[in-house]
Amino acid sequence: MRISQKHQTALALAVIALATLVITVPFAAQPFSIDGPETIAFAERQIEQPFSQDLPSHFSNRGIFFDSYLETHPKFLPLYLSLVIRATGEPSEVPLHLSLAIFPFIGAVGMYFLGRRFRVSGLAAALFFLASPMLMVSSHTEMVDVPGVSLSIAALAVFIAAVERQRGRWLLSLSALLMILASQTFFQGLVVLPLALAYLVIHRQFRIRNLVPIAAAGIFFGAYLLAVVAAYGQLPRLSYRSRLNTMQPTSALAFLRANLTVLGGTLLFPLVAVAGFLTRWTSILVFVSSSMITWSWSVVKYVLGDYGLSDMLLLSVMLPVGITITYLMIERSAAALSSRENRNSRAGRDALFLAVWFFSVLAYTTILLPYPAPRYLLAIVPAAILGLLTIWRAHIRTRWLRPSLAGSALALTLVFSTLLSLTTYTAARNGKVAAEWAIENYDGTGGAWYNGTFGFGYYLERAGFRLVPSVENELYAQTTRSLPLEEPRPGDYVAYSVKDGAWVPYPSVMQRLRRDQTLVLYNDQIFFMPCAGSDTCWWNSVFLPFRIDTLGERADTVRTWRIDDEPNPLDESQYELYREVGITWIEDLEER
């Protein structure tokens, strides 16, 4: 019995909903970490003042205090989360994470319809999107990346459907709404506007009615910027990167190399990506040659002591995969432009559009974003997956091989993503465990302070601890704050995380620290995520297994301190602390 198209769609959507629950519900209790606490702070602010864009009243971020803190993104996600917090009474991991599961489902539904439009399996496109490490790991956090990308995918899917149907006015209206929500979730969501325009140009659908959603979303975003200027006297920060000269060629090349490494390692399980994209002799040649160069470079760096063994192994596999994927996107777009017949064909135009999508995201992540990370590259996943499925359809003719390859690739990728998700869960859990230990060991005498960030700082702050000011406040004092900063006093209690303590307290505080107690947390997952050093271009890349460690490796050291009345003589414990936080002025202290 033949199943109707309507029933096929309903069944596919049910499978997508179930898959979304599978990748999100087991991790719903993951503690808040990374930049999630900042999103929650904005959400709590919006309970009292909806649509506000700042955090006032001496807000602190990474050791720097602000009278008014304007974050880099619009506030649709905090507004949405504020409704959940209002309903539950306080921020809680399970309700917030379950409420966020709607976004990967929206993105997967968009991928389903985009897959059908680009003449590949819509269900395969949706499931690969959900199983991708970039998506799965990020979907367990409270940050803007998954909601923003998911809304962008849905906006493009609805927009393309409206353009193709010609009479879908309600689809045009829905696409306009989704474009607005995407650009009001994060600034990267603005990429949907030029992509929609590119689709009209490439597919020769440049009509006034088709421009209405793009114009509406652009006008709304312009109004948002004017409202922010009127309320705060300044534009929001449109770019994260403020301390890096992006015009330096070496810097741009380093970021490009890092992004290609992240792409090759976290789009799918790396070996799956290799098998999937090596369908032509040209792609095999590119992969082999780039592997030889990368392996030679990595071996030299390993011999010099700049790379560890796992750094060398992972980089030498992941970077060639990313280069090969990028080459094939170039090759397919070049083939689409090579002849009039290809330029006029639907397949050629589709290949060109996917290439525009792919390289637009690669360009803005390399130029505008602060460091290479899978969550920043998440918007490239739809174009890469659709390109992969298109290549499989064109070059794998054997009837049974294509679904077998897709099924095996999906299974391996899901296992890989689950391992990475467990790693991230462990890192987030360690931050909460460390905070709870510090709280339990505080006897209530003296003030309670902390030096740390992410989940460690969030849970301590909820318990009433205050952040120790950092030396960087001296650099920002004239522009970001006017209120005097209070320092820890003699007898006060300070909790410090080696992993998450990202700044240096004032020298007057550092010299009076007396060690109290120490907690060492050990890794209980195979994958581990310490920074590997800037020379590998993996630095600050959140959600990436930098190296493979054995079980029992030290994950973090948490220390508690008391503040003495007078500076302590420099002993080995003081030197150890200085080395941990990156102190560079020990010699000056010795002279004193």
**Confidence (pLDDT) at 16:** 97
pLDDT tens profile 214-244: 999 999 999 999 988 888 888 876 665 444 4
Q: Mean pLDDT throughout 306-328?
A: 79
Q: Which of 516 and 331 is assigned the larger pLDDT?
A: 331
pLDDT tens profile 471-507: 655 544 444 555 556 778 888 998 888 776 656 666 6
pLDDT tens profile 121-134: 999 999 999 999 88
Give the integer Cα–Cα distance in Å for 291 and 294: 5
Q: How many residues does the chain have?
A: 592
pLDDT tens profile 441-479: 898 888 898 888 788 888 998 898 988 877 655 544 444
Whole-model pTM: value is 0.88
How does residue 62 score in pLDDT terms, banded at 50, 70 and 90?
low
**Confidence (pLDDT) at 466:** 85
Give the integer Cα–Cα distance in Å for 210 and 171: 11
Q: Is 448 left (phi over 0), alpha (psi -120 to 50) or beta?
A: beta
Q: Taking Cα atoms as reference points, which of 68, 64, 61, 67 lies closest to residue 481?
A: 67
Give the integer Cα–Cα distance in Å for 47 and 70: 17
Q: Taking Cα atoms as reference points, which of 371, 378, 360, 358 lies closest to residue 141?
A: 378
Q: Mean pLDDT throughout 137-159?
A: 94
- DSSP per-residue codes, 372-428: --TTTTGGGHHHHHHHHHHHHHHH---TTHHHHHHHHHHHHHHHHHHHHHHHHHHHH
pLDDT tens profile 149-196: 999 999 999 999 999 887 678 899 999 999 999 999 998 899 999 999
**Confidence (pLDDT) at 454:** 83
Cα 489 to the center of its chain, rounded Å: 38
**Confidence (pLDDT) at 22:** 95
Give the ranges where 481-523 is alpha helix by DSSP (H): 507-510
Q: Which pair of structure tokens corresponds to residue 228?
A: 């922010």
Residue 114 has pLDDT above 60, yes or no: yes
**Confidence (pLDDT) at 535:** 36
Helix H or strand E segment including 196: helix 192-202
Instruction: Identify the weakest region by mean pLDDT among 65-69, 157-161, 321-325, 588-592.
Output: 588-592
Q: If you average pLDDT over every residue of the chain, what do you get? A: 80
Q: Which of 576 and 330 is assigned the larger pLDDT?
A: 330
For the stretch 509-525, what's the b/e string if a residue is b when 16 or more beta carbons lie within 10 angstroms of its beta carbon? bbbbbebeeebebebeb
Give the integer Cα–Cα distance in Å for 447 and 561: 12
User: Which of 326-340, 350-364, 419-433 is predicted most confidently?
Assistant: 350-364
**Confidence (pLDDT) at 537:** 34
Which residues 6+ apart lie within 8 Å of 416 measured at CB?
133, 268, 269
Residue 199 has pLDDT above 70, yes or no: yes
pLDDT tens profile 243-271: 444 445 456 777 788 888 888 888 877 66
**Confidence (pLDDT) at 291:** 85
Strand pairing of 64-70 and 448-451? unpaired
